[in-house]
Amino acid sequence: MKLTVLGCAGTFPGPDSPCSSYLVEHDGFRLVLDLGAGAVGQLQRHVGLLDLDAVYLSHLHADHCLDLVGYSYARQLHPDGAPPPLPVYGPAGTAARLCAAFDSPPRNGLRDVYDFREVPVGQQQIGPFTVTTARMNHPVECHGLRVEAGGRSLVYSGDTGESEALVELAADCDLLLCEASWPDDPGRPAGVHLSGRQAGEHAERAGARRLLLTHLVAWTDPDVILGEARGAFGGPAELARCGQAYEL
Ligand SMILES: [Zn+2]
Ligand SMILES: [Zn+2]
């Protein structure tokens, strides 16, 4: 399994990265987790514009899904002809949320472009990937994802505050791609995001083999976040970098 970070900036794009988006490949199948602002640009550095097999949206906050609006034009208007509808998995309301971004309702509710599969948390077989999801601790329905293939496992937190469900989902995983949006501070609201320390604690309790920190917001000092995580997690921890690939 290969993970390529297409975007790892939290909340809004940073100077060095689009918002959340992760390309996961195995056996020639290309699954993208989230498609946040700017990610379609980075996508083209790694695969052909139309060469995706499925998308899974963790949740419907703009920094995780809104590039599907622009990307719909890329698929509809491509000079080689429009490809078949792309399977798009996401929480209930995915189709309506994306369609609401247009000034007039899109043709066929975008169903000529996207094959929407609004799913509750549970398990899906997506190409070669077994995808197990769990509800995270966030103000809207957010799915944390455990993606398994070839005996390897990647867990992506989506956006979450402290979550026992994340610890269970990430049990003994090969790589935990975990949000760490802000420095540790007791004044932060609960149930929204994790600090670097909390991300490290979740990885430690889950027994994750490796921790990759993502969703850092541009105004935070990444060294502070990384230091907090390393203080709480005994395994290897690093910051996700846009464009970087990771073999699992
Ligand atoms: Zn977010
Ligand atoms: Zn969010």
Whole-number Å distance, alpha carbon 138 to ligand 2 midpoint, is 7
35 CA distance to ligand 1 middle (Å): 11
User: In angstroms, rounded to a whole number, what is the distance separating the alpha carbons of residues 54 and 116?
Assistant: 10
With 0-12 / 13-18 / 19 or more C-beta atoms within 10 angstroms meaning exposed / middle / buried, residue 15 is exposed
pLDDT in tens, 143-179: 999 999 999 999 999 999 999 999 999 999 999 999 9
Q: Closest Cα to residue 246, out of 215, 209, 217, 220?
A: 209
Q: What is the mean pLDDT of residues 67-72?
A: 97
- pLDDT higher than threshold 90 for residue 107: no
Report percent pLDDT > 70 for the chain: 100
For the packed helices 222-232 and 196-206, what is the interaxial angle rounded to 10 degrees?
30
Mean pLDDT of 202-226: 97
| Structure token pair of residue 164 | 């026992």
81 alpha carbon – ligand 2 mean position (Å): 34
Residue-wise pLDDT for 186-213, tens only, equals 999 999 999 999 999 999 999 999 999 9
Tell me which ligand sits closest to the C-alpha of residue 161.
2
Indicate which ligand has the atom closest to the C-alpha of 34.
Answer: 1
User: Per the structure block, which two tokens stand in for 209?
Assistant: 């083999």
| Order of strands, sheet of 152-156, starting from the edge strand that comes earlier in the sequence | 123-126, 129-135, 143-149, 152-156, 175-179, 211-214, 237-239
Comparing C-alpha atoms, which of 76, 23, 86 is closest to residue 54?
86
Mean pLDDT of 182-188: 94
